[in-house]
Structure 1
Amino acid sequence: MDVTFSCIIWLLFTWLSIIALNSIFRGTKPAFRKLPPGPNELPIIGNLLALGKKPHRSLAKLAKIHGSIMSLHLGQLTTIVISSKSIAKQVLLTHDSSFCNRSVPNALLAHQHDDFSMIWLPASTAWRTLRKISNSHIFITQKLDASQDLRRKKVQQLLTYVEENCHAGKAIDIGRAAFSTSLNLISNTMFSVDLADPKSEFRELVWNIMVEVGKPNVADYFPVMKKIDPQGIKRRLTIHFGKMLGLFDRMIDQRLKLREVPGYVKTNDMLETLLNIMENKTEAINRDYIRHLFLDLFDAGTDTTSNTLEWAMAELLQNPEALSNAQLELEETIGKGNPVEESDITQLPYLQAIIKETLRLHPPAPFLIPRKSSTDVEINGFTIPKDARVLVNVWAIGRDENLWDDPNTFLPERFLGSNVDVKGRNFELIPFGGGRRICPGLPLAIRMLHLMLASLLHAFDWKLDDGITPEEMDMEDKFGITLQKAKPFLAIPVARK
């Protein structure tokens, strides 16, 4: 969301040419509507400069001045920022029907992605169909249990890679290793194949998409510039999306041919399930919806999972006592030398607490996915106007001193014996969102996170690279499509005794 100085200067110079359009698009505020309070704005650019390089932190600070429901004008867009548990619950649950549509970034109009994407579609018949398929056929326990052998093999490959570096005494880029593993975990769940092979371009393709989507885009703040695409983000994303969709077409065609071969043995993967639904016409979906669903799952499931794992490992190495507690629990529950299984996770409360604490401090999407109000809604005496973009600052909620003791400290023990979870029922911890648009891939993401982290902690000891002490660790974050570590986290695996 950070707009570079060059873009700001350019916008200021074009003030005379767009001021008339600005007034038309922004409109005037009716006298009877009381917008939430907010900071003073500049002509044309509004409050864009207030965002800075780390909007989640900047807006959390502004919320302490203006309140937990706050309005800003970002270019031509009225934006409402929510920074408290109680108001988040009103937006995501009480008034969910008024806030269940999305504010779609301009770049994601590439290849009409917004017309087929479960993430970006409005609450419509098509969206409800995709949601039903996800909840009833793809992410249900039975289907995920049936495909866990595929994920087990990918985690074992990760451990083999770590072991090779362990013998060589080399540090591992945890985020990069987790990114490749997450890609293969998802691709095997979808297609029963590896797509993040070092020799393929797929890993870099997904990475490039993450980079483009995470860039601040002038066209998102000034809709009049959408057709111009001044930064070329949509043009580049059109190329990347085209390559991804072409790959999915080839995977679908190959599977359809295999299904025609006599004696074909069906797989337990997602593609098989979706093709069965399409051919049996049990739900109204077609090939376009399937291709864009795959695009959603790769884009939403890789960077988020790998970044969370990287943050978890970094926090544990900065807090050796928590690391020791986690390894002791794994040893007592699973036993030395035994592999971790997905079915073991329910018996590992401290590991679960580590994941919750990591998601509290470092939510992958600090503002969730932007919502858009479909009508004027009154909340706490203020009016959220129709078509306003609504951001829920879950990063700020996760560090709210009114909700959490010592909120900036990594303390997994706070969740031991607690019923608070990440499934959208407890609005003090909603890294996956809440209401009807909660992330549908949550069950798979939770399995992947716990399995990868538990396996890395159980198989190896870990030490920091270059003689760095826990006190010297760089724990700065960087805002993008996900909340990343500012610098890659390197750690050296050590054989366990």
Structure 2
Amino acid sequence: MMNPTLLAAIPFISFFFLLLARRKVISPKAALLPSPPRLPFIGNLHQLGSILHRSLYELSKQHGPLMLLHLGTVRTLVVSCPKIAEEVIRNNDIVFATRPKSKLTDVLSCNKNDIAFAPYGESWRQMKKLAKTHLLSSQSVKSMSFDRAEEVSLLIENVADAALRGNGVICLTDILNSYVTNVITKVVLGSWITKEKKALLSKLTHESSTLFYEVFFEDFFPNLKWLDVLTGSDRKLKNYMKNWDAFFEEIFKNHDHESKEVNGKNNTNFIGTLLELQNDSNLGFVLTNDHIRGLTMDMIVAGIDTTFATLDWCMAELVRNPEVMKKVKDELRKVAHGEDMISEELLGQLSYLKVFIKEVVRLHPPSPLLLPRESLQECQIHGYNIPKKTRLVINAWAFGRDSTYWEAPEQFKPERFFESTVDYKGKDFYFIPFGVGRRICPGMDFSMVIIEIALANLLHRFDWSLPSGITIEDMDMFECGGVISPRKHKLELVPIASKVN
């Protein structure tokens, strides 16, 4: 269903533009692109549903895998076919290497000073290099194993405690969210972050996802930006940023007083490293507080929601597919050799667990619509002329359901990845849950190890079932409609301690 705020405003927008707006001229060549019929002034906005990747998928069935939408004044190209995505990336990746400007992303990027939303250029390259060097590289990820081990032990304790308090039934969704938040805040911000601050960061992270689907009239109708004040969208965004401003003000003020060692252990963290790099004369560029804020928000906002959503989908699919859960548990039993916990050194031996996770992100990519790009210059795609400043949206969710590339795509079958070299690293264009090309997510390895070690131990230490009276058929597997798409309903399960010997 269409956003009610925008729906109510359609008559007013049309009247306003009939009086004041100047419509942009679209070239005849560009107009040849397949496009759904549109209304005057609002274009195709009325055809977008509350779960955007699903509504775009349905539109693509009618109008083709390369489709032009007119969203107010914004021309948006939607790609729903891996073959066309491959053509775009192979021939025009640098043309579509930048991000479009929007009211929300300007705020989230701290005025274009991050990785996720910053425009393509030297500043973006420097930020990406800093993140990969000091947090996301293989060496950095490996160095955080102690922090992950601590949080996994707490995760197991929390599951057992919650089961005792809740007569056996626990809300696993909330526990998984807490685990992911704890891991990421510890390595990004340090051990000093209080429980209350973690709860705030988790709240802000989820808010950012829903804000992506908030209607900001300024983005679609620049002449109507004052409507953002009337509808309350401006207020929501300002309140959101006030919380971040207060948080970072405390971090910058207290940095010099933080201990570099906690309980005899090195307390080095990502933001602390960045703050120290501000004084490094050999860095080669000026690292501002806005850069640090932008990078830190990327790691927290993108890291928590995508990792948590994938972990929650994993547990839901295991419960829905008991034969798959049995195979994962059998593999864990062979690898563990009677040990209470699965260590990260053993993860490389868990081949079935890894293909299971691949199957989960095929059906439930953490970001179903890859973050939009924008053309830096005119180019050609599939024989069509694409003007400069055309937005590009790639529907990764649709790719995982393309029967041209996947046999029985709606069936959950991890075995499809055995004897296959297909991976999510960006070389196989029909499997790009983490993006592709220059804008591929640099944090894949960082997130995957957080997911793998948690799943391995949750399944090693507990047997899992649905609460009494609930069947597999009762499980609602629909997703939320934000830029990140976790399950719509929280997952409640019954854990029973396993015999590990």
TM class by shorter chain equals over 0.9
The equivalences for 1:124-139 within 5 A come to 124-139=121-136
Counterparts of 1:192 and 1:71, CA distance in 2? 45
Counterpart position of 1:154: 151
Of residues 432, 444, 447, the one that matches 1:445 is 447
Instruction: Tell me by how many angstroms 1:388 deviates.
Output: 1.5
Secondary structure at the aligned position of 1:98 is classed as coil
Secondary structure at the aligned position of 2:425 is classed as coil
Unmatched 5+ stretches in structure 1: none
Counterparts of 1:432 and 1:21, CA distance in 2? 42
Counterpart position of 1:417: 419
Of residues 387, 390, 394, the one that matches 1:388 is 390
Counterpart position of 1:309: 311
Instruction: Tell me by how many angstroms 1:36 deviates.
Output: 2.0
Matched, 1:267 2:264: no
Matched, 1:184 2:151: no
Instruction: Tell me by how many angstroms 1:214 deviates.
Output: 4.0
Task: Out of 160-169 and 231-240, give the one that drifted further.
Answer: 231-240
Per-residue CA deviation, residues 170-192 of structure 1 (Å, 9 max, x unaligned), is 32223222222111111111122
Counterparts of 2:249 and 2:397, CA distance in 1? 38
Matched, 1:241 2:241: yes
Matched, 1:300 2:299: no
Task: Out of 479-488 and 408-417, give the one that drifted further.
Answer: 479-488
Flag the 1:58–1:163 CA change in 2: closer, same or farther, 3 A: same
Instruction: Tell me by how many angstroms 1:394 deviates.
Output: 0.5
The equivalences for 1:162-201 within 5 A come to 162-168=159-165, 169-193=167-191, 195=193, 197=195, 201=200
Flag the 1:70–1:111 CA change in 2: closer, same or farther, 3 A: closer
The equivalences for 1:334-349 within 5 A come to 334-349=336-351
Of residues 333, 352, 355, the one that matches 1:353 is 355
Does the 8 Å CA contact 2:399/2:430 hold for their aligned counterparts? yes
The equivalences for 1:15-414 within 5 A come to 15-19=14-18, 22-24=21-23, 27-110=24-107, 113-168=110-165, 169-193=167-191, 195=193, 197=195, 201-229=200-228, 230-258=230-258, 267-281=267-281, 282-284=283-285, 285-414=287-416
Does the 8 Å CA contact 1:90/1:96 hold for their aligned counterparts? no
Per-residue CA deviation, residues 202-255 of structure 1 (Å, 9 max, x unaligned), is 433433333333434444332333354243334323322232243233224323
Does the 8 Å CA contact 2:53/2:368 hold for their aligned counterparts? yes
Flag the 1:110–1:332 CA change in 2: closer, same or farther, 3 A: same
Counterparts of 1:453 and 1:86, CA distance in 2? 33
TM-score (norm 1): 0.92
Flag the 1:471–1:259 CA change in 2: closer, same or farther, 3 A: closer
Does the 8 Å CA contact 1:155/1:455 hold for their aligned counterparts? yes
Counterparts of 2:118 and 2:395, CA distance in 1? 22
Counterparts of 1:167 and 1:259, CA distance in 2? 36
Unmatched 5+ stretches in structure 2: none
Counterparts of 1:5 and 1:248, CA distance in 2? 34
Does the 8 Å CA contact 1:189/1:270 hold for their aligned counterparts? yes
Does the 8 Å CA contact 1:147/1:269 hold for their aligned counterparts? no
Flag the 1:40–1:462 CA change in 2: closer, same or farther, 3 A: same
- One-letter identity of the residue aligned with 2:398: A
Secondary structure at the aligned position of 1:215 is classed as coil
Does the 8 Å CA contact 1:107/1:237 hold for their aligned counterparts? yes
Identical-residue share of aligned pairs (%): 32
Counterparts of 2:92 and 2:357, CA distance in 1? 29
Q: CA RMSD in A?
A: 2.4
Does the 8 Å CA contact 2:100/2:119 hold for their aligned counterparts? no
Secondary structure at the aligned position of 1:395 is classed as helix
Does the 8 Å CA contact 2:3/2:50 hold for their aligned counterparts? no
Does the 8 Å CA contact 1:175/1:489 hold for their aligned counterparts? yes
TM-score (norm 2): 0.92
- One-letter identity of the residue aligned with 2:135: I
Counterparts of 1:68 and 1:307, CA distance in 2? 27
Does the 8 Å CA contact 2:217/2:227 hold for their aligned counterparts? no
Of residues 460, 463, 469, the one that matches 1:461 is 463
Does the 8 Å CA contact 2:86/2:429 hold for their aligned counterparts? yes
Flag the 1:416–1:321 CA change in 2: closer, same or farther, 3 A: same
Flag the 1:132–1:338 CA change in 2: closer, same or farther, 3 A: same
Counterparts of 1:355 and 1:296, CA distance in 2? 23
Counterparts of 2:21 and 2:314, CA distance in 1? 44
Task: Out of 8-17 and 350-359, give the one that drifted further.
Answer: 8-17
Does the 8 Å CA contact 2:216/2:225 hold for their aligned counterparts? no
Flag the 1:20–1:451 CA change in 2: closer, same or farther, 3 A: farther
- One-letter identity of the residue aligned with 2:117: W
Counterparts of 1:423 and 1:303, CA distance in 2? 20
Counterparts of 1:179 and 1:379, CA distance in 2? 41
Task: Out of 200-209 and 68-77, give the one that drifted further.
Answer: 200-209
- One-letter identity of the residue aligned with 2:433: P
Counterparts of 1:306 and 1:286, CA distance in 2? 30
Does the 8 Å CA contact 2:344/2:453 hold for their aligned counterparts? yes
Instruction: Tell me by how many angstroms 1:35 deviates.
Output: 4.1
